[in-house]
Structure 1
Amino acid sequence: MNKVFEIGRLTRDPEVRYTQSGKAVCTFTLAVDDGYGEHKKAYFLPVVVWGKTAEACGNSLHKGSKVAITGKLTTRQYDNSEGKKVTITEIVADPYEGVDFLDRKQGDANQSNADEEVEIPF
């Protein structure tokens, strides 16, 4: 089974593009902390989101947004402009449970300090 679940923050604003057939694809990098103290390290994971969820990510997320990603780990290859083969490993978000927005809604003074999940419409 190939299933990945990560929680982290976006390192840059998400980029939304559209395929020739009109399907939305959103890409961003997720920073995920691991360990603590002297042993703390961060991983920077490329994430790909498709369809309506991609559009929601592009409209709602920004650099620093906290999200939970559920998806699968994939690897793809291509030849760069110099003719060298490049291999990329990335997380492709699940189309139904792929992205949960974990930042609190802004402007609500009655909210607790706990992070709140925001539902993504499909």
Structure 2
Amino acid sequence: MLNRAVLTGRLTRDVDLRYTQSGAAVGTFSLAVDRRFTNQQGEREADFINCVIWRKSAENFANFVHKGSLVGIDGRIQTRNYENQQGQRVYVTEVVVENFALLEPKSSRHGNSNNQQNGNAPQQNNGNGNNPFDNNSNNPSSGNSNNGGNSSNSGNSGNNNPADPFANSGDSIDISDDDLPF
């Protein structure tokens, strides 16, 4: 059995970040995902998909995105139901986000952009190694980190990051277009 959802779209509103009674962070948002085809008027329609993200990932996500941000998410579809105040049964279908990637450059993001110093978009991985947005998903040391970005480095200048093997080396990196994967 497989329950997997991979979406790329833009946030329709800022993340609504709340905390449960036990202190767990939960963020809810809606993602506008364009359809692959156009309607009879030649316009592209979109689906608006409700999403929920939990714990530290929710806090990180809320800190780095805002309405209109282009993001990629990976998660599972979940359906739940509850009884509202009028006594009616309400069914909710949403994507529970397990991994995310910010798909725009730092200059395109407005909120809290100074928390990130190296210019790469942070990617949140829940540690299961199945992040389709993570090129290092087979790397066992990638674990529960933000592969590619440094979202928790608000006090560092980016040059004294112990995970950066090229920091303060003074060596230039020679990369040709043939070396790039895209």
TM-score range, shorter chain: 0.7 to 0.9
Question: Do residues 118 (structure 1) and 122 (structure 2) align?
Answer: yes
Superimposed CA distance per residue, residues 32-51 of structure 1 (whole angstroms, 9 cap, x where no aligned partner): 00123336321100010011
Partners of 1:102 and 1:118 within 8 A in 2: no
Q: Does 1:42 align with 2:43?
A: no
Q: Deviations over 1:7-32 (max 9, x none)?
A: 00000010111111111111100000
* TM-score, reference length from structure 2: 0.57
- Work out which of the two has the higher radius of gyration on C-alpha atoms and give 1 or 2: 2
> In 2, Cα distance between the equivalents of 1:68 and 1:118?
11
Matched AA of 1:61: V
The reply on whether 1:71 has 2:86 as its aligned counterpart is: no
Spell out, residue by residue over 1:50-70, the C-alpha distance to the aligned partner (whole angstroms, 9 max, x if none).
111100111111000111110
Is residue 60 of structure 2 the alignment partner of residue 56 of structure 1?
yes
Partner of 2:96: 92
When the two chains are superposed, the root-mean-square deviation of aligned CA atoms in Å is: 1.7
C-alpha distance in structure 2 between counterparts of 1:117 and 1:105, whole Å: 7
Partner letter of residue 24 of structure 1? A
- Is 1:103–2:104 an aligned residue pair? yes
Which of the pair is proportionally richer in strand? Answer: 1
SS in structure 1 at match of 2:39: helix
The offset of 1:117, in angstroms, is: 4.4
When the two structures are superposed, what TM-score results if normalisation uses the length of structure 1?
A: 0.83
Please tell me whether residue 24 in structure 1 is matched to residue 25 in structure 2: yes
CA distance in 2, matches of 1:119, 1:89: 25
The structure whose RCO (Cα within 8 Å, separation 6+) is larger is 1
Identity percentage over the alignment?
42
Query: How many residues in Structure 1 have an aligned counterpart in Structure 2?
Result: 111
Question: Structure 1 residue runs of 4+, over 4 Å off?
Answer: none
C-alpha separation in 1, matches of 2:48 and 2:16: 16
**Counterpart residue identity of residue 16, structure 2:** E
